[in-house]
Amino acid sequence: MKSNTVLQIVIGGYLVLFFAYLFLPLAFMGVVAFNTSSIPQVTPWEGFTFHWFGVLFADSQMWQGLGNSFIVAFFVVIFSVSIGLGATLFLTRMRFKGRDGAYAILVSPILTPGIILGISTFLFWDKAFHLSGGLWTAIMGQTTFISGYCMLLIMARAQRFDKTQEDAAFDLGATHGQVFWKITLPFLRPALLSAAALAFMQSFENYNTTLFAIGFEQTLPIYIGSKLRQFISPAMNALAVVFIVLTIIGAAVYEYRRRRESVAAG
Amino acid sequence: MLKSVGEAVEFNHVSMRYPGTESNAVTDANVHIKAGEFFSFLGPSGCGKTTLLRLVSGFLDPTEGEVRIGGKDMRGIGPNKRPTAMIFQNLALFPLMSVAQNIGFGLEVRGVSKTERLKKAVELLELVDLPGVENKMVGDLSGGQMQRVAIARGLAVEPAVLLLDEPLSALDLKLRQHMRTELRKIQRRTGVTFVYITHDQGEALTMSDRVGVMTGQGVIDQIATADQLYNEPQTAFVADFVGENNAFAGAVTETDGDYAILNTESGSLKGRNRLNLNSGQKAIAFVRPEAILLAEDSTAVENILKFTVKNLSFEGSFITVFLDTPGGQTCVMKQNNDGSTPLMQTGTEIKVCFSAENTQLLPYGEVSYA
Amino acid sequence: MRKLWQDAKHNFGNIGIIFILATVGGWFIFMILLPQLIMIDYSFRPLLPLRKIGGPEDVYTLKNYMVLFTTPLHRAIFFKTIWSSIIVTFVAFAICYPISYYLAKMARGARFSLLMMGIIIPYWINELLRLFAWQLILSDVGILNNILMFLGIAGEPINFRSGNSAVILGMAYAYILFMIFPLYNAIESLDSNQIDAARDLGSSWFRIHRRIVIPHAKPGIAVGCIMTFMLAAGSIAAPLLLGSPSSFWFTQLIYTNFETANWNQGAAYAMVLAGLCLIFIMLMLKLFKVSLKELTK
């Protein structure tokens, strides 16, 4: 009984410390956004202001970076989910020697540092097509490894697929196309949706690969990076607050829908 | 009411070997299944039954020989173009679709309108005695209900041949027995040719018009009705696999018309020689446990042997007695219990006999000695 | 080969084959194979003015790689990067193992979803901003210095950002999700009865983890460590934002090469980094006796 209480306290203490570690830095960062001081800091507190949000929203570079991020993410999602699906079909349906080798090659981009993918993509398009760094190379560089994540996600679901369902559909007279659209794809749909969401997040937040691949263009993370390396302004804190608020809203909506669904299902 | 017409299925010298394997999954199968027949393939698991079924459905083409349906060679014709429908072992119902959508799937891919499909689904659900569930999701059905939906889905495309791959194996015993009669009923109602595979001889013997027994090597040993299989097996494998049997191996010493004498370690046995074994040939004498009687109760004059009672198990309507033979093997005997049958004492020596009529002499083959 | 083709046709039909060839083929050839080959090619060629490219001096050479061995500063930075990345990996494992175990085997219901959400939410905020938060904490006028000075522990601001500690701390913070998820997945798949059985047999908590949980979670530990190490060694954001001149990271050497348009030297160093990560992966696979297949489950 006594050792149990001690254990409870230890676990509780650890949890508090862990989440403090996780959230306090973000909390500090958020508070700074509302400090009038032009140097981002909590103390001295010079007064409450929304001024830095105004500065942020007036920055055309930020909007341009945001726009570029959406463009890049859009194509990365389309490419990566398609590639992930294709690779899944390829690896789960075909039986051939060297399948393990093919698998290793296709997951290798995930295990490669992002800057290497960025550099090699940049060099390749420059050398082979005389296409210098821009949004296209950023899309290519990101797709290289995000496809791997999509493949793993889709494959995890595909492996739970009962292939006799396809046999049954085929036996009942469906063509290959009909089997795929009416049986296989509906089964994989949840995995495709989560792969799309993951691809979007990964693309939207990518810095390492993009930095080397994109040349002189800017996505939002590149914009943030250059801002943070120049002179630091609390406008970046304002941006962080926007991210945090959007995230919390997103999480709340997700949680609300999940609960409603579980109530409906239960 | 739906009335499809069954078609004949012929296997002509069909052999199947999977690429990269050493031996045949099916060897020289010659079977002529009649139109509208309920035909079962019975064999131990891994004997190539499923391969046979997939050869008919079109998922496989034979390495040698031909499969004909309704007289037409099926080589090169895919499963979606053959007049067959398959009921899979795990049923393979589509979990994301309702019952009606499942049943209507085959019609949907043929471009039949939605109202037509629903009408057909309702009709078929009545045929399989499961009316009113068309709007349920398949996940909400019980095992037996899923079974019926799978059959309705197969019948919806009006196949000439319905192929059933051990569809009852997942059900519990009681439901399984009930579904046997149901399947038989549905087959009679529709007139579709049923090709059924199973490792459960109870299923095969009770439902089928004829049964093909397969050995572990993909060879069809005998094709016959249930009673022929039981009473007049053609090979040692069939005798051993169908029902219980005692096997006494030995060599033929003399022949005598329809009968012959076999010299075994447990003694000299006389039995029916339907396959015309010759003197000196290695053979096995098979005797069913229920054909072994106490000598004092029997009028038979041949095959009188002295065995020792090893142990017995009381099973209500009958008593199973395990006997030690002089040849060192165990012989099983079944005694009917009329309520006053005295229990034998373990260790006592008893005299048993079995008539030559009930003893089958078959060429030597691998058997699992009881 | 014929067999493979028939197999493919049977499985996918013509349109399916085209789709797979286009996606997987395009991915493999244009994103994985050729870019890597071109980068290798660059790394073995000397840096030449444009007019001399293709000329007699444009021959394969090990020169770009030799720079690493002949420049003591680069060598020091290289080994520092390895060593620091290993520290990041250890720290991340130490922080994440308990929470992963707690989530996998102890937390239930609403508390579980809340904690899970709490772990994921920070990762929806850009990595750079997360690192920026630590910049605010660790800078000379940062929160930590303010607190220390307020409490009278420090008389004047401590420069936390000299040396590597700030970079290491920031990385351990930024990449823990990549440690938690593999660990969580691996521990979660352990049958809880095994833990109960061990406890029932009188095993101590320490021993249960050492003999049962950790051996079972080996593939997860390997993945977590590989990911964290790879992210740390390959990180450019953390050293750029949290580092000081004395904490130069190997990736920054690569970056500088590209800023000064010495692509060949940059490519060679990128290859060195790739080789380093490959060696680390091999080592982990050997150490934990798992295969790549198990890793990415």
pLDDT digits 0-9 by tens, B299-347: 777 888 889 999 989 888 889 999 998 888 889 999 888 888 788 888 8
- Residue B174 contacts A where some CB pair is shorter than 8 Å: no
Residue extents of the structural domains in chain C:
66-295
Contacts of C120 in chain A (CB under 8 A): 251
Cα–Cα dist B370/B367, whole Å: 9
Least confident range from A181-185, B199-203, C52-56: namely: C52-56
Can you tell me which residue has the tokens 């020792």? Answer: B308
Nearest to B362 by CA among B245, B213, B201: B245
Please indicate whether, in this complex, the C-beta atoms of A120 and C143 are within 8 angstroms of each other. Answer: no
**A247: nearest CB among C16, C125, C240:** C125
Q: Which chain B residues have a beta carbon less than 8 Å from that of A178?
A: 109
Q: Which residues contact A28 (CB under 8 A, 6 or more apart)?
A: A42, C133, C136, C137, C143
Q: Mutation test of the interface with chain B: which of A171, A175, A176, choosing the one with the most B Cβ atoms within 10 A?
A: A171
Phi, psi angles (nearest 5°) of residue A129: -125, 5
Residue B75: is its pLDDT beyond 80?
Answer: yes
d(CA C66, CA C48): 17
* Residue C165 buriedness (CB in 10 A; 0-12 / 13-18 / 19+): middle
A touches which chains (3+ CB pairs under 8 A)? B, C
Q: Where are the alpha helices (DSSP H) in C121-191?
A: 127-138, 143-150, 165-174, 176-188
Long-range contacts of B101-104 (CB under 8 A, 24+ apart): B102/B138, B102/B149, B102/B153, B103/B134, B103/B149, B103/B152, B103/B153, B103/B156, B104/B156
DSSP H or E stretch at residue B11: strand B9-16
Residue B56 near residue B9 (C-beta atoms within 8 A): yes
The domains found in chain B, sorted by start residue, are 9-231 (3.40.50.300), 244-363 (2.40.50.100)
Q: Which of B59, B93, B106 sits opposite A167 (nearest CB)?
A: B59
Count how many residues are written for chain B.
Answer: 370
Query: Which subunits have 3 or more CB–CB pairs within 8 Å of chain C?
Result: A
* Dihedral angle over CA of A182, A185, A189, A194, nearest 10: -170
Flag whether pLDDT at B16 surpasses 60.
yes
DSSP states of B208-221 as a string?
-SEEEEE-TTS-EE
The nearest alpha carbon in chain B to A184 belongs to: B94
Do you know the residue count of chain A? 266
Largest pairwise CA distance in chain C: 80
Contact B163, B192 (CB under 8 A): no
- Quick check: is A177 in a domain? yes
Identify the three-state secondary structure at position B256.
strand
B79–A170 CB contact, under 8 Å: yes
A positions 2-31 inside 8 Å of C (CB): 11, 14-15, 18-19, 21-23, 25-26, 28-29
Q: For residue C21, give every residue at least 6 positions away whose Cβ sits within 8 Å of its Cβ, in sequence order, or none.
A: none
Position A266 scores a pLDDT of 47
Q: Does residue A12 sit within a domain? A: no
**B7 pLDDT more than 60:** yes
pLDDT at A130 over 90: no
Cis peptide before A44 (omega within 30 of 0): yes
Q: Say what the pLDDT of residue A263 is.
A: 67
Q: Determine which helix (DSSP H) or strand (DSSP E) holds C118, and give its type and residue range.
A: helix C109-120
Residue A107 belongs to what domain range?
60-265
Concatenated DSSP letters for C40-103? HHHHTS----GGGTTSTT----SHHHHHHHH-HHHHHHHHHHHHHHHHHHHHHHHHHHHHHHII
> Using one digit for the tens of pLDDT, what is the confidence trace for B142-178?
888 998 999 999 999 999 999 999 888 878 888 888 8
Q: Counting beta carbons within 10 angstroms of the beta carbon of residue C166, is it exposed (0 to 12), middle (13 to 18) or buried (19 or more)? A: buried
pLDDT for B298 beyond 70: yes
Helix (H) or strand (E) holding B41: strand B38-42
CB atoms within 10 A of CB A202: 19
The one-letter code for the residue type at A154 is I
DSSP SS3 for B89: coil
Please determine, for residue A125, whether its predicted confidence score (pLDDT) is greater than 80: yes
Instruction: Report yes or no on A6 lying in a domain.
Output: no
What percentage of chain B exceeds 90 in pLDDT?
A: 48
Could you tell me the two tokens for C258?
Answer: 């590209």
Helices vs. strands in chain A: H and E counts, helices first: 12, 0
For the segment A242-253, the average pLDDT, to the nearest whole number, is: 88
Residue B281 has φ and ψ, to the nearest 5°, of -75, 140
CA distances from residue B241 to B92, B199, B332, C261 in whole angstroms, order as listed: 30, 10, 15, 81
Confidence of residue B370 (pLDDT cuts 50, 70, 90): very low
Q: Is residue A100 part of a domain?
A: yes
Q: How far apart are CA C88 and CA C161, in angstroms?
A: 16
Long-range pairs, C58-63, Cβ under 8 A, ≥24:
none
Determine how β-strand B84-87 pairs with β-strand B161-165. parallel
* H-only helix segments in chain B: 49-57, 99-108, 114-127, 143-156, 173-190, 201-207, 226-231, 236-241
B247 forms beta bridges with B286
Mean pLDDT along residues A129-147: 93
pLDDT per residue as tens digits for the range A18-58: 998 888 888 888 888 888 887 777 777 888 888 889 888 88
Extract the tokens encoding B286. 């098979």
CA B370 to chain centre: 20
d(CA B223, CA B34): 13
Higher pLDDT, C8 or B358: B358
In a domain, A106, yes or no: yes
Cα–Cα dist C157/C141, whole Å:
7
| Distance in Å, alpha carbon of B106 to nearest chain A alpha carbon | 5
Please list, in sequence order, all residues whose beta carbon lies within 8 angstroms of the beta carbon of residue A229, skipping any fewer than 6 positions away: C240, C241
Question: What are the φ and ψ backbone dihedral angles of B225, each rounded to 5 degrees?
Answer: -75, 170
What's the confidence (pLDDT) of residue B1?
40
Helix (H, G, I), strand (E, B) or coil at B66: strand
Q: How confident is the model at residue B106 (pLDDT cuts 50, 70, 90)?
A: very high
**Rounded distance between C-alpha atoms, residue B128 and residue B250, angstroms:** 51
User: Of B78, B84, B92, which is closest to A168 when you measure between CB atoms?
Assistant: B92
For C29, residues 6+ apart whose C-beta sits below 8 A from its C-beta are none
C230-254 residue pLDDT tens: 999 999 988 888 887 777 899 999 9
**Residue A157 contacts residue A188 (beta carbons within 8 Å):** yes
- In a domain, residue A67? The reply is yes
CB contact under 8 A, A115 and C11: no
Residue C119 tokens read as 């772990």
Q: Do C23 and A85 touch (CB under 8 A)?
A: yes
The answer to whether the CB atoms of A167 and B86 lie below 8 A apart is yes
Can you give the pLDDT of all 297 residues of chain C as single tens digits? 666 777 777 667 778 889 899 999 999 999 999 999 999 999 998 888 777 777 777 888 888 898 888 888 999 999 999 999 999 999 999 999 999 999 998 888 888 888 888 888 888 888 888 888 888 888 777 777 777 877 877 777 777 777 778 888 889 898 888 899 999 999 988 888 888 888 778 778 788 888 888 888 888 999 999 999 999 999 998 888 888 777 789 999 999 888 888 889 999 999 999 999 999 999 998 888 877 766 554
Task: Please state, as a whole number, how many other Cβ atoms lie within 10 Å of the Cβ of residue B97.
Answer: 18
Residue identified by tokens 């403090």 is A20
B365/C226 Cα distance (integer angstroms): 59
Report whether C271 contacts C265 (CB < 8 A): no
Domain CATH number, residue A110: 1.10.3720.10
Size of interface A-C (CB pairs under 8 A): 239
- B106 in contact with chain A, both atoms CB, cutoff 8 A: yes
Q: Is B273's Cβ below 8 Å from some Cβ in A?
A: no
CA distance linking residue B18 with residue A102, whole number of Å: 25
Do A86 and C23 count as a contact with CB atoms less than 8 A apart?
yes
Burial class (CB in 10 A: 0-12, 13-18, 19+), B340: exposed
Cα–Cα–Cα angle for C11, C17, C18, rounded to 5 degrees: 160
Contacts of A41 in chain C (CB under 8 A): 136, 141-143
A1: pLDDT strictly greater than 50: no
- Report the pLDDT value the prediction gives residue C293, as an integer from 0 to 100: 67
Q: What are phi and psi of B78, to 5 degrees?
A: -75, 165
* pLDDT grade for B4, boundaries at 50, 70 and 90: low
B contact test, residue of A172, A176, A181, A182 with most B CBs within 10 A: A172
Name chain B's partners: 3 or more CB pairs within 8 A. Answer: A
Instruction: Domain count for chain A, please give it.
Output: 1
Name the nearest CA neighbour of B203 among B231, B249, B169.
Answer: B169
β-bridge mates for residue A168, sequence order: none
**Any C CB within 8 A of A197 CB:** no
Beta bridge partners of C287: none
| Band (B2; pLDDT cuts 50, 70, 90) | very low
- Contact list in C for residue A43 (CB cut-off 8 A) is 143, 146
List the single best residue of C4, C10, C15, C32 to mutate versus A (max A Cβ within 10 A): C32
Residue A243 lies in a domain: yes
User: Which is the CATH superfamily of the domain at C66-295?
Assistant: MetI-like (1.10.3720.10)
